[in-house]
Amino acid sequence: MSDSVPEAVIYSGHPSWRSMLDFHLAGLLAAAAGGAIARLATKNWGLAIAVFAGILALSVLIGFIRRVATHYTITDRRLHIRRGILSRTEQHTTIDRVQNVETRQSLLERVLRIGTVDFDTAGTDDSQFSFEGVATPKQVVAAVDRAQQLTPRSDPLSRG
Chain segment 27-61, per-residue pLDDT in tens:
999 999 999 999 999 999 999 999 999 999 999 99
**What is the distance between the alpha carbons of residues 92 and 90, in angstroms, rounded to a whole number?**
7
Q: What is the pLDDT of residue 75?
A: 94
pTM of the model: 0.80
The residues, any chain, with a CB within 8 Å of residue 8's CB and separated by 6 or more, are 75, 76, 150
| Listed range (42-46, 103-107, 118-122, 143-147) with the worst mean pLDDT | 118-122
Residue 112 makes CB contacts below 8 A (sequence gap 6+) with 16, 18, 19, 21
- Report the run of H or E that residue 72 belongs to, with start and end: strand 70-75
CA atoms in the 13 A half-sphere facing the CB of 95: 25
Q: What tens digit of pLDDT does each residue of 80-96 get?
A: 999 998 999 999 999 98
CA distance 54 to 40: 17
Helix (H, G, I), strand (E, B) or coil at 49: helix
Q: How many CB atoms lie within 10 A of CB 102?
A: 12
Average pLDDT in the 56-79 region? 94
Q: Indicate the pLDDT class of residue 160, thresholds 50, 70 and 90.
A: very low
**Mean pLDDT estimate for the chain:** 88
Residues in CB range of 138: below 8 A, 6 or more apart: 103
Is residue 16 within 8 A of residue 133, CB to CB? The reply is yes
What value does the mean pLDDT take over residues 105-132? 86
**Which of residues 98 and 52 earns the better pLDDT score?**
52
% residues pLDDT > 90 (the chain): 74
**What burial class does residue 155 get, using C-beta atoms within 10 Å of its C-beta: 0-12 exposed, 13-18 middle, 19+ buried?**
exposed
- Reply yes or no on whether the pLDDT at 104 is more than 60: yes
The pLDDT of residue 1 is above 50: no
